[in-house]
Amino acid sequence: MTGMTQEAAAAHVIATNPTFAVAPTVVRGVTFKAFQNIPATVPALMAAGMAQHADGTADYLLYEGERWTFGAFCDEVRRVANVLHTKFGVAKGDRVAIAMRNYPELMTLVLAISATGATVVFVNAWWTTEELDYALGDSGAKLVFADGPRIERLLPLVDDMSLSLVGVRDGEGMVDLSYSALQTSASDTPLDVVIDTDDDFAVMYSSGTTGHPKGVVQTHRSAVSAVFSWLMQAVMAPLVTPPAPGAPAPLRPSALVATPLFHVTATHPLFLLSLPAGAHITLMRKWDAADAVRLIQEEKITRFLGVPTQSAELMMAARDAGVTLDTLDYLGSGGAKRPAAQVAQLADTFPNAGIATGWGMTETNALGIGMIGDDYVNRPESAGKLHPPLQELRLLDDAGNDVPLGALGEITVKSPANMRCYLNKPEATAETLQDGWLRTGDLAVMDAEGYVTILDRKKNIIIRGGENIACLDVEGALHRLPDVIEACAFSVPDDRLGEVVGACVQLRTGASLSDAEMAAALDGHLAKFKIPVHLWTQHTALLRGATDKLDRRGVRAACLEKIEATT
């Protein structure tokens, strides 16, 4: 049977499946294409997925040998929501922070906080005390659920910021309040709270071109719009690629979560999507490729989405084990671009899996561009096509004009999945969001078939293994060192992580700075993944351009030439 084109499949699903009906809808004064019959809020995804999870009896969550059925997981969400409401007085408009590594409680808290009408504040678990201080001050969150290492970093802030800390897992016993005791004795009666679809769901911090991260404000509509756009891709898939006659029924969707849940790559297309999709979740405490191979085999996992480094390490671990992980039908990459040479290697190693790529942002709730299978193998440099049916795409020049087909322009997207704003940053919001169109800062070209290839970034961002690092953040920390006159941070290619941090600094006359001295001086001021791996020092001024501004590209090129000269 010949499959439909993606465009024809999308039109067919919209016309025949009421769940995905689309109509023009006005949101904050802007008309968008929006789903009409999907759940209105993030916590409503639980009820929407109950039937898909065998009315709650299906095995839903696995973590280090601990298992929850879907019903038990939802019961815990409701108990925590009641604790938030009755003990802490959390209500609509409040903000509650989560600071921990990938624990099941993080998933529970996301839904429980949002069920009260409050806003979830996602805290990067790698941040230092200084970075935590900024985010909590910016968001205004006073109640924080945290594990042990995060509590240690938060304790110096408690008095000055009037924080209430609740210990989770290894954080229990470190402060007066503990998650287990609070939720075990609570009621699991659902809260009666009216939440509008355009109310705020979450604040998720994303590094920008300024030193401090920007709080991306996501609404319930924006998150759920992204979730159902991906769900629609699953409905379209057999129309585009019909199964072979006599093929066995597909396995139940099952996802391995191996990237941090404080990033959209894990929260939205894995965790939140699992709720209405009826998917099982296996949560990894820490990435280990050999353990991932074991879990994929034992749990019959069908879906893996991680940064390109993880795909490569999974491939090597599978080869070492002599297995092809035949249950995998989706092997995706997010957070950074996968090396083109790796695409065919992955397809060869995992013949049953559709090798996939995607582009999305925290600002778009991870929705964006993607492709899978032969399309990707044949175009390994491309990011794919726009996911239907809600998004619109333009490539613009600096003046805001559309560029001709094949010309370089800034990716600019419009959809109800876009963020509401940057928290407390009206100027940055106005620069990025214009009449519903979000200017992404990513430069790309598009061909006649609609495939988008991303070529450069306008933003000074280093993407280390999927983790965004603002150059100015690193430079600001380097300027704390007394002998540093000027600093320039930039990306350095890395075979494993894609990019790592490099820096060139001008030192005071007679001063010296070794890599080890720099790392020791920055410890506690920058998260470890942000500390430069490569350091160049000089006593003369850094290269400047015609307008006397720092020539970042020129500095980077000169430093990389020195690496090439020594290899």
> Residue 66 has what pLDDT?
98
DSSP 330: E
Q: Has residue 528 been placed in a domain?
A: yes
Q: Has residue 499 been placed in a domain?
A: yes
Which two structure tokens, joined as six digits, stand for 111?
């839904």
Cα angle for residues 264, 266, 268 (degrees, 5° grid): 55
Whole-angstrom distance between the N-terminal and C-terminal Cα of the chain? 53
Is a pLDDT exceeding 90 seen at residue 375? Answer: yes
Region 255-283 average pLDDT: 97
> Residue 481 has what pLDDT?
93
> Residue 209 has what pLDDT?
45
Residues of the chain with pLDDT > 90, as a percent, come to 84
> Residue 227 has what pLDDT?
98
pLDDT tens digits for range 4-31? 999 999 999 999 999 999 999 999 999 9
Is a pLDDT exceeding 80 seen at residue 273? Answer: yes
- Calpha distance 88→112 (Å, rounded): 13
- Of 262, 329, 290, give the one whose Cα is nearest residue 467: 262
| pLDDT level of residue 547 (50, 70, 90 thresholds) | low
Task: Confirm if 170 and 145 have CB atoms less than 8 A apart.
Answer: no
Task: Confirm if 455 and 444 have CB atoms less than 8 A apart.
Answer: yes
Which two structure tokens, joined as six digits, stand for 28?
């904050």
- Calpha distance 303→510 (Å, rounded): 56
Task: Confirm if 310 and 289 have CB atoms less than 8 A apart.
Answer: yes
Q: Has residue 506 been placed in a domain?
A: yes
Is a pLDDT exceeding 90 seen at residue 101? Answer: yes
Q: Has residue 18 been placed in a domain?
A: no
Which two structure tokens, joined as six digits, stand for 380?
């390994």
> Residue 1 has what pLDDT?
65
Q: Has residue 538 been placed in a domain?
A: yes
Is a pLDDT exceeding 70 seen at residue 3? Answer: yes
DSSP 175: B
Cα separation values, 88 from 84, 97, 165, 209, 229, Å: 5, 13, 11, 36, 35
Residue 491 belongs to domain with CATH number:
3.30.300.30
Regarding predicted confidence, which is higher, 466 or 380?
A: 380
pLDDT tens digits for range 163-214? 999 999 999 999 999 999 999 888 989 999 999 999 999 999 986 444 688 9
R_g over Cα of the chain: 24
Strand partners, 122: 98, 204
Regarding predicted confidence, which is higher, 242 or 460?
A: 242
Is a pLDDT exceeding 80 seen at residue 546? Answer: no
Region 227-247 average pLDDT: 94
Place of tokens 């961002």: 461
Instruction: Write the Ramachandran bin of 173: left for phi over 0, alpha for psi from -120 to 50, otherwise beta.
Output: left
* Neighbour tally for 57: CB within 10 Å: 12
Q: Has residue 22 been placed in a domain?
A: no
Residues of the chain with pLDDT > 70, as a percent, come to 98
DSSP 482: T
Number of domains in the chain: 1
Q: Has residue 516 been placed in a domain?
A: yes
pLDDT tens digits for range 18-71? 999 999 999 999 999 999 999 999 999 999 999 999 999 999 999 999 999 999
pTM summary value: 0.89
Is a pLDDT exceeding 90 seen at residue 463? Answer: no
Q: Has residue 507 been placed in a domain?
A: yes
> Residue 563 has what pLDDT?
85
Region 395-418 average pLDDT: 95
Q: What is the residue range of 553's domain?
A: 462-565
Distance of CA 249 to the CA centre of its chain: 31
E strands along 298-382, which residues?
Answer: 303-306, 330-333, 354-360, 368-372
